[in-house]
Structure 1
């Protein structure tokens, strides 16, 4: 995907979220996510409209009841990668949005849509699309990650990051809680005594070193 190129899209609206907000460059901006479908049934996902474009679509859909087919034309949409997946979004002051516009492209698309599906669209419904911000990172963490007890962490055999959620029951004030650690990997380090010998094998000096237990 060439992210420097702009694309034009046309499709039948099949899913649309509510207007949400996100912080962009320190400013709170409204956005709306939607999905389109072409005449062959291919779904165009991960489409985001920002600011005025989001408000324009939301106003056009009203209460979203008995909409029938809603043909959307988007011109000059920007390519991007979001969560490692291809996506497109509107560009401020550049993108053009047409909703059931009375233009040849809309008429041609609608005709092909009816021919392929054999329906005028009376039974077509736009489903609700959950946006990434309404399904929060907190929910994603609590519902989708594997959960184990603190005791089970000792059984992990490969490097990984863990988040510990716990309640402090008691604070031990008598014993030190810290330990000597390797500055590179944070594994425990043990103090060892190293002897330096002269050319005759006689110990002339002893010194202490710290060796990482991960080596």
Structure 2
């Protein structure tokens, strides 16, 4: 009892705080909190700001600037929200690192018309099933979410339950809900009969041709390195092979997807605690983290008629091409992913797609020509838009096999550019675009009467110019002079 009184005597009231005090202890409640960050970058926190209130009602603003303290106490700062439910989404199943889960969004609205999205998973998502099924008879539904976590996803603010602490109250008979309901019903134009919860399905984002092609340069694979400045480039190419020597998976931060490195604990704990310290990893973006998972990272070689290039595909793109998640393969074959290469990834070979990537200054200055794919598409409408005003293809005739037949009859080998007899391209284009088959060799051009250049297997003659009889050539030259087919330079006599 005496110790408790001593602690109370050491607590300084907020109204007594003075800059001259060296050591103070306060007892206060955090009634408001916000983060300072660069515009458009909510994850790069500069400081953690809050309003504190002591038992006497005094208030003061406090700021935490040390990154260590922000990471330590930021997870303890939770928010309470109250609002009326205006819409609920249908359940969305998804796979999270090999675990099947369900996600559901609920939109709340306050008396000022401001809406906030709440995201719930699994058992939390199931709580809203009865409200979605009986929405026509429930009317005005008010919800309180206590001790929730603030989250940013794709640049949008949302809240979600925190681990082991969040409480939810829906239409409970408590003063806070009743008071909010009365304030909401006083909004001009409010009609209880028309107030029904909306049900909608989250729209799946579809990339159109305008978004895919906007601001990008159309390229053939062999011309990628011709650019002397950074740009967004698009190529239409076929996956020729997978660089297995570079691996296929890596350990990633679950929040941002960056590579995660295990933090080695060098010094043993001096506390003598029998509980083992939680394993942590290092992320370049989020510093020390505890949630990691396996993701795809595959380098493929793509080809067209002009050459080949290496492209880097990360998790979403590999999943789209193979139809399997990285964690599923890890669960099937084992955690030692460096010791094997899953056969399921081989289905990528032979596929023909549009790849959009960033040809960066790093690629130019460091001679690093592995390009990270930003977008990928095999939609016909986008492929046709890519080819328009870029190339004119020959129509398929009866004596010329189509692309599918060429793909079946041809071997997958890196093509060699050959000379064509006739031009089939629009202005400015001098390159073929049939990537389904390997172009013919130079022998075909020789049969057509075209000069194919020197060959290592050709016959070479050695001529002695001192003993060479050029009378036949001289007679031929005189005939061409008489016929006017050859002009002779007139040499004037010197004065």
User: Is TM-score (shorter-chain normalized) higher than 0.5?
Assistant: yes
1:11-41 deviation line (CA, Å, top 9, x unaligned): 1111210112233353222221021110111
Shift of 1:119: 3.3
1:107-162 deviation line (CA, Å, top 9, x unaligned): 0000001112353521112223433xx51xxx4224662448x9x615x9851253
Q: 1:153 aligns with which of 218, 232, 236?
A: 218
Q: Distance in 1 between matches of 2:178 and 2:120?
A: 23
Please say if 1:186 is aligned against 2:369.
Answer: yes
Which one has more relative contact order, counting CA pairs under 8 Å at least 6 apart? 1
Shift of 1:74: 0.8
Q: Distance in 1 between matches of 2:237 and 2:128?
A: 42
Q: 2:96 aligns with which of 24, 28, 32?
A: 24
Q: Distance in 2 between matches of 1:164 and 1:33?
A: 38
Please say if 1:90 is aligned against 2:176.
Answer: no
Distance change >3 Å, CA 162–CA 128, structure 1 → 2 = farther
Residues 31 and 54 in structure 1, CA contact (< 8 A), matched pair in contact too: yes
Residues 53 and 97 in structure 1, CA contact (< 8 A), matched pair in contact too: no
Q: Distance in 2 between matches of 1:100 and 1:147?
A: 49
Specify every segment of 5 or more residues in structure 2 that has no aligned partner in the other structure, as ranges. 1-33, 36-73, 220-226, 239-302, 310-362, 371-495
Please say if 1:115 is aligned against 2:181.
Answer: no
Q: Distance in 2 between matches of 1:95 and 1:144?
A: 43
Query: Equivalent residues in 2 for 1:1-215 (5 A)?
Result: 1-2=34-35, 4=75, 5-45=77-117, 47-117=118-188, 119=190, 121-131=192-202, 135=204, 139-142=205-208, 145-147=211-213, 153-154=218-219, 159-160=231-232, 162=234, 164=236, 177-178=307-308, 184-186=367-369
Q: How many residues align?
A: 173
Q: Distance in 1 between matches of 2:100 and 2:160?
A: 17
TM-score for the superposition, normalised by structure 1? 0.64
Residues 33 and 129 in structure 1, CA contact (< 8 A), matched pair in contact too: no
Q: Distance in 1 between matches of 2:234 and 2:139?
A: 48
Deviating above 3 A after TM superposition, structure 1's stretches of 4 or more consecutive aligned residues are 117-120, 161-166, 175-179
Q: Distance in 2 between matches of 1:111 and 1:143?
A: 49
Q: Distance in 2 between matches of 1:161 and 1:100?
A: 54
Q: Which has the larger radius of gyration?
A: 2
1:173-215 deviation line (CA, Å, top 9, x unaligned): xx88348x9772439xxxxxxxxxxxxxxxxxxxxxxxxxxxx
Distance change >3 Å, CA 96–CA 13, structure 1 → 2 = same
- What SS does the corresponding residue of 2:136 show, helix, strand or coil? coil
Q: Distance in 2 between matches of 1:87 and 1:27?
A: 23
Q: CA RMSD in A?
A: 3.7
Shift of 1:44: 1.4
Distance change >3 Å, CA 30–CA 176, structure 1 → 2 = closer
